[in-house]
Structure 1
Amino acid sequence: MGRIVAAGTIAALTACSPPVPGLLEADGVERVTVDRALYAAELKVFRASALTLGVALLAEGGEGSGGNVVSSPGGLLIALAMLRAGASGATAVEMDKVLGLPDDHRDEAMNALLESLAAYDGDPGSVDEKNPPRKPVMHAANGLFVDRDVATGKNYLETLARHYGTGVYPVAFRDEAATRPALDVWVDRNTGGRIKHAPTQYDRDNTFSLLNALYFAAAWQSPFDPNNTSDYPFTKSGGEEISVPTMHQELVLAYAEGAGWRAVELPYADGFVMRLVLPGPGVGPETLTAAKLAEIAAALDTAAEVSVLISLPKWDHKSSFDLRKVLESMGLVKTLATTEDFNAIQNRLTITQAAQAANITVAEKGTVAAAVTQIDAAVTGVPPLPDQTIEFDRPFHYQIVHNETGLPLFMGAVLDPR
């Protein structure tokens, strides 16, 4: 990505702040290239953490999809890792424990993960979503909007620049007319227009807004023939049978099964698969724990490929999540309440809002999906009391003194300031 934003001070960036945000640069900070092979253990930990987050998102259910759920545990993991880069004290301990983050080299390992995804990077706006590309587009973007009047930690910004490629945009949150559209433009641009608006409710009191966007578009390795799509029965959880457009095809796929589940991996043209897990009769997907999903993943990692006749419904769903509810249910209580442990980001910073919006379209030619995760925060709390208070509210003496010699260049008295 070449030179990346974020070193130095926010003041150095404000003069360059555009009304429509683009990637800002700061001299002296470059994205670090890391060897992915050195962080294999940490990447496995990230996979387990993402499964845990995914189960929590599905359990919360989201809004806007009539019971269907689409979420982005990967996007949430990346956003939380960026937040963790500025955490300390009990909050850092809690985040590591609850999220199961690596003990060491967390930021370097996330850099390796993002670098691996970058092999498929592309412009979401250039994708013809009715004809998903044979070479997948997997666009990941990280953005940080900070209030230009609030100091943001230099070391924190440098970490995000070196390992996350995070663009930094100094704004005035009080100026909603300028800042709210800037957030929406960033979201729209990085999701190819699939998501138009930042997912949290805009708050003029915020001083910090961290965003991750993921956009995915890919053709199936073996597209389904639309002529083989037909209405087919689908039995809902309560036993009601409905008829839905369903795709049919015989393919050679990785297949595995275990107690209470069967699973296949449906490959895209390159680099990605859709993992499909079918619980046993009378058992819903809500019974699939993170541990069970990890077991299924491990089974599919070594599964033999067999001939499979697959029938798969088409779907086009969207969801939105109040992530404060999700994170609180997981046990991130201190993280959501602290006014002290994010001082490395901004002094007395506390989380105010967190949300995610996600959508997906699955059809005969392939899949298109997008998600935006946003974590907002504000400087809050009562400033510490000064040791002394002095008010010049009566006549006083003054001098202008040369420091090196102590010479009083000017001296006077104020008896009436008018």
Structure 2
Amino acid sequence: MAGPRRIVATACIAVAALTLGACGSSSPELVVADNVTRAVVQVDEHPEAAASLRNASFRLGAAMLAANPNDNSVTSPVSALYALSMLRAGAATTTAAEMDEVLGFPAAHRDEAMNALLGLWEQYDGDPGSVDEDNPPSAPLLHLANGIFIDEGQPVGAEFLQTLAVQYGSGVYQVDYSDRSTAEAINSWINENTGGRIEEAPVDYDPDTRLSLLNTVYLAAAWQTPFDPADTASGSFTLADGGVIETDMMRQVALANYASGDGWTALDLPYNDGFYLRLVLPDEGESPVLNANQLADVRVGMESGAQAEVALVLPKWDHTYRQDLLVLLRGMGLTETLGTAPDFGPISPGLFVSGAAQEANITVAEKGTIAAAVTQIDMAESGLAMPDIELVLDRPFQYQIIHGETGMPLFLGTVMDPR
């Protein structure tokens, strides 16, 4: 494996045999691979790896929904999967093994399969900024973007950079994290690639950051058969606690794939060109937050569903959701990966994941659907010895202000709710 090299903001980058044709400037500049283009890979070349990635995305999605089961949630498992796959490309030894086991990544051809999926979706690519969100396009627009923001002077492994260029088509941006304007540059990149639906990074800016992995997903699609606004009227919606509210309900008779199974009934409401909104209604009294096995049951059941005319009554909704992925992924079992001493040597020695989060939003109305998401994974460089003990004050605690010489307690208190 080629060793890491140092990136210098004021000079063009050369990484081993991979020459990156751009020079640094006062604003972030996209570094693109010179004479290295993204590989062309077909999904059917690696069907087992693609199937594993599909299953991994549902596993991630189940965990993301379960984190706050009583909230309105909108997540993008695909966005999280892309960001984590880029992180996995820079993992080694036991960290790599843990990521594969916990996330269900394929044993081989992970990066090639991710590349193939990205290539498959490129036929729907377009500029999110061109979309009139009041009139979603009849031809679905699906825009994915991967971006790597690297601190100037941070050593980064050549093979890692080449994998990003060849398999993820990922741009690399040189920035100065000590300069607050870097936050504005990252926010601008996110804003542009989400059509303005997400304006700020989901991870708080930290000048100690050395590298950020970002993925955005933007979708705009009109229904194959739009709902007639004249049929939209107030209707009752029963909440999980049994309360009843009134909200705008859309109505139409939809010809769609329909099936039911153990504890669920589902409908695939079509957009154009093979996209659809899968609506899954749990049995009365059951939670709509399904685990990975239940999601697999729905997927298999819908694969053998039948076309049916269904009198559909569907509420309109417009939701935004932000989620801390560090807590969630640690809970899934990524303890070493997200701990203080992981092995991300192929990226740069001494790096650890300092932050990970996703923000997503969705608008569903009579004409169609607009949705966007950004997933961000930040990495910092450890400059201190790893601690022996971690103390997390995440429950009620006492505090004392002591005069050192006398030991007298000047203040005593408790924190029961820090809000």
What is the TM-score with the length of structure 2 in the denominator?
0.86
Q: Deviations over 1:107-138 (max 9, x none)?
A: 00000111111111100000000000011110
2:345 paired with 1:343: yes
Does the 8 Å CA contact 1:220/1:268 hold for their aligned counterparts?
yes
Deviation per residue, 1:34-86 (Å, 9 max, x gap): 12211122111111111111111111129xxx820011111001100000000
1:84 corresponding residue in structure 2 = 88
- In the other structure, the counterpart of 1:410 is none
- Code of the residue aligned with 1:272 in structure 2: it is F
Pairing partner for 2:36 from 29, 36, 57: 29
8 Å contact from structure 1 (residues 213, 370) kept in 2: yes
CA deviation after TM superposition for structure 1 residue 106, in Å: 0.5
Aligned equivalents of 2:73 and 2:61: distance in 1?
A: 11
Match of 1:258 in 2: 261
Structure 2 partner of 1:304:
306
Deviation at 1:8, TM superposition (A): 8.8
Q: Once the 2 structures are TM-superposed, how far is the Cα of residue 314 of structure 1 from its aligned partner?
A: 0.2
Distance 2:229 2:63 in 1: 35
Q: Does 1:231 align with 2:238?
A: no
Q: Who is 2:52 aligned against?
A: 45
Q: After TM superposition, list the pairs within 5 Å mapping 1:387-402 onto structure 2.
A: none
Among candidates 71, 93, 96, match of residue 67 of structure 1: 71
Q: Given the alignment of the two structures, is residue 217 of structure 1 paired with residue 216 of structure 2, yes or no?
A: no
How many pairs were matched up? Answer: 373
User: Shift of residue 165 of structure 1?
Assistant: 0.7
Does structure 2 retain, via aligned residues, the 8 Å contact 1:340–1:347?
no
Match of 1:400 in 2: none
Which AA in structure 2 matches 1:248?
R
Does the residue aligned with 1:182 lie in a helix, a strand or coil?
helix
Judge which range, 373-382 or 22-31, deviates more.
22-31
Aligned to 1:192, which of 195, 209, 212? 195
Deviations 1:211-240, CA, capped at 9 Å, x for gaps: 000000000000000001001111000111
Residue by residue, what CA displacement relative to the aligned partner does 1:378-417 show, whole Å, maximum 9, x if unpaired?
1114599xxxxxxxxxxxxxxxxxxxxxxxxxxxxxxxxx
**1:10 and 2:13 correspond:** no
Q: Distance in 2 between matches of 1:154 and 1:264?
A: 47
Q: Contact 1:8/1:26 (CA < 8 Å) preserved in 2?
A: no
CA contact 1:138–1:214 (8 Å) conserved in 2: yes
Q: 2: CA distance between counterparts of 1:382 and 1:199?
A: 26
Which residue in the other structure is 2:328 paired with? 326
Cα distance between partner residues in 2 of 1:122 and 1:318: 23
Looking at secondary structure, tell me which structure has more strand per residue.
2
1:121 corresponds to which of 117, 120, 125:
125
User: What do residues 166-193 of structure 1 show as CA deviations (whole Å, max 9, x unaligned)?
Assistant: 11001111112x2111101100000000
Counterpart of 1:10, as a letter, is I
Question: 2:194, 2:218 within 8 Å by CA — same for their partners in 1?
Answer: yes
Q: Matched residue of 2:284: which SS? A: coil
Aligned residue identity for 1:67: D
Q: Which moved more, 1:105-114 or 1:33-42?
A: 33-42
Work out the CA distance in 1 between the residues paired with 2:28 and 2:191. 12
1:202 aligns with 2:202: no
Q: Distance in 1 between matches of 2:39 and 2:105?
A: 21
Question: Structure 2 vs 1, CA of residues 141 and 9 (structure 1 numbering), >3 Å: closer, same or farther?
Answer: farther
Percentage of pairs with the same residue: 49
Would you say 1:353 and 2:355 are equivalent positions?
Answer: yes
**Structure 1, unpaired ranges of 5+:** 1-6, 385-418
- After superposition, the Cα gap between the structure-2 partners of 1:61 and 1:383, relative to the gap in structure 1 and judged at 3 Å, is closer
Structure-1 residue corresponding to 2:148: 144
Matches within 5 A, 1:86-101: 86-101=90-105
Distance 1:250 1:366 in 2: 16
Query: Quick one: which of 152, 161, 165 aligns to 2:165?
Result: 161
1:247 aligned onto 2:254: no
Q: Which moved more, 1:44-53 or 1:21-30?
A: 21-30
Q: Deviations over 1:324-352 (max 9, x none)?
A: 01101101000001435101101100110
Asked if structure 2 preserves the Cα contact closer than 8 Å seen for 1:200 and 1:355, the reply is yes
Cα 1:111–1:317 shift into 2, 3 Å? same
Structure 2 CA distance, aligned partners of 1:168 and 1:22? Answer: 8
Secondary structure of the residue aligned to 2:159 is helix
Contact kept, 8 Å, 1:247 with 1:314, in 2: the verdict is: yes
Per-residue CA deviations over 1:295-346 (Å, capped at 9, x if unaligned) read 1111112211011111110000000011101101101000001435101101
Three-state SS of the structure 2 residue aligned to 1:333 is: coil
**What letter is aligned with 1:31?**
R
Contact 1:134 1:270 in 2 (8 A): no
What SS is found at the alignment partner of 1:337? Answer: coil
1:20 CA drift (Å): 5.3
Structure 2 Cα separation of the partners of residues 328 and 125 of structure 1: 35
Distance 2:106 2:143 in 1: 24
Once the two structures are TM-superposed, the CA of residue 271 in structure 1 deviates from its matched residue by 2.7
Q: What letter is aligned with 1:359?
A: N
Q: Secondary structure at the match of 1:204?
A: coil
Which of 276, 288, 312 is 1:285 aligned to? 288
Q: Structure 2: how far apart are the matches of 1:305 and 1:145?
A: 47
Secondary structure of 1:79's match? helix
- Report if aligned partners of 1:21, 1:185 keep a CA contact under 8 Å in 2: no
TM-score w.r.t. the length of structure 1 is 0.86
Counterparts of 1:340 and 1:99, CA distance in 2:
16
Are 2:28 and 2:174, in contact at CA under 8 Å, matched by a contact in 1? no
